[in-house]
Amino acid sequence: MNFRLSCNKDNERCLFKKFKNKRQQAIAEREQELLCLAEKLMEEHGFSGLTMDKLVAACDYSKGTVYNHFSSKEDLICALCSKCMTLELELFARAITFDGNGRERVLAVCFAYWLHAVLNPTLFYCVLIAKTPAVAERASPARLEGQLALEMQLSDTCNSLFAAAVDSGDLPKPTGLPFEAFSFAAWATAFGTNALLQAASTSQLIKGLDAQQALLFNTNLLLDGMQWTPLSSQWDYQESWQRIGKELFAEELLTLKEKQPNPGI
């Protein structure tokens, strides 16, 4: 039974929930409502503006009820982190359907990752902070479990792209290391680039670099290093990048333009 719950076929899960107890569903909906509120609070009043007391004041429920959902402030942050990863997962699912070669699909995932980070800077930070011992230590076990499951789904999504590339021969197998090492490298580079660029907007250190350009550039370097064909010298990935934006994320890019009137250099 436990096993069934943790499987990721949403239909089954929803049916199960609806059948057994509609009460539970109302609770789940309320949780989403609270999470949206929390996100809004964070966006408005900065990070430290997110307070349990404020959340209680902003919603129609009492403190006890809120604490029924989130066992602590840290648990709430982890919940936001999970929400973030769920959104990412959806974007990634769209990204890997991109009509192109394998490398382009990886770029599409990077595009999605970057887009999500820029559109939801607060949530992006939540993921960072949720990894922090202070937070992880105080979150509820159930929440951490859910988080781990999401992480695995995310990395599975990425791994599938690399596995396919190895199968098709576009990407030579690494010697002495599992092919997941490739996948991890790409993830680390994308993550590091996004994180530093987000932080850089604070510190204004790397002014000359456009975020999109930097991520595309860095990823291309890495994939070239893996000798994933076609190499960046043999293919116009700049154009692929544009095409990814147009064909997969037109709507999100529009939202982005509304948010930031001046879109880079």
Partner DNA sequence: CGTCAAGTTGACGATTCGTCAAAAAATGAA
Partner DNA sequence: TTCATTTTTTGACGAATCGTCAACTTGACG
**Residue 202 binds a second copy (CB under 8 A):** yes
- Letters for 64-103 (x = contact with DNA by CB under 7 A, - = none) are xx-xx--xxxx-----------------------------
Helix 102-119 / helix 141-168 crossing angle, nearest 10 deg = 150
Integer angstrom CA distances of residue 242 from 81, 118, 196, 238, 248:
29, 17, 23, 7, 10
Number of residues in contact with DNA under rule CB under 7 A: 20
Query: Could you tell me how many residues make up the chain?
Result: 265
For residue 105, give both structure tokens: 């699909």
Q: Which of 120, 119, 94 is nearest to 108 (CA)?
A: 94
Q: Which ranges constitute the DSSP H helices of 120-179?
A: 121-131, 133-138, 141-168
Q: Give the one residue of 17, 37, 52, 198 binding DNA; rule: CB under 7 A.
A: 52
Decide which of DNA, a second copy, none touches 37; Cβ closer than 5 to 8 Å per partner kind. Answer: none
Neighbours of 223 (CB within 10 A): 25
Check binding of 207 to DNA (CB under 7 A): no
Q: To the nearest whole angstrom, how small is the minimum distance from the Cβ of residue 17 to DNA?
A: 13
Place of tokens 């991890």: 184
Among 8, 25, 62, 168, binds DNA (CB under 7 A): 62
Binding mask 87-126 for a second copy (x = CB under 8 A): --------------------------------------x-
Nearer to DNA, 16 or 191 (CB): 16
Contacts 24+ apart (CB under 8 A), 141-148: 143/75, 143/78, 143/79, 143/82, 144/78, 145/6, 146/82, 147/78, 147/81, 147/82, 147/85
The least distance separating DNA from the CB of residue 71, rounded to whole angstroms, comes to: 7
From the list 90-98, 104-112, 163-171, 224-232, the region that binds a second copy by CB under 8 A is 224-232
What tokens were used for 146?
């859910």
Q: 65 contacts which partner out of DNA, a second copy, none, CB within 5 to 8 A by kind?
A: DNA
| Dist CA 216 CA 260 (whole Å) | 20
Token digits of residue 206: 């790397």
Question: Using CB under 8 A, which of the segments 59-67, 86-94, 165-173, 187-195 binds a second copy?
Answer: 187-195
Summarize as ranges the residues that interact with DNA (CB under 7 A). 23-24, 27, 51-54, 60-65, 67-68, 71-74, 138
Summarize as ranges the residues that interact with a second copy (CB under 8 A). 46-48, 74, 125, 128-129, 131-138, 147-148, 151-152, 155, 174, 177-178, 180-181, 184-185, 187-193, 195-196, 198-199, 202-206, 208-209, 213-214, 217-218, 220-226
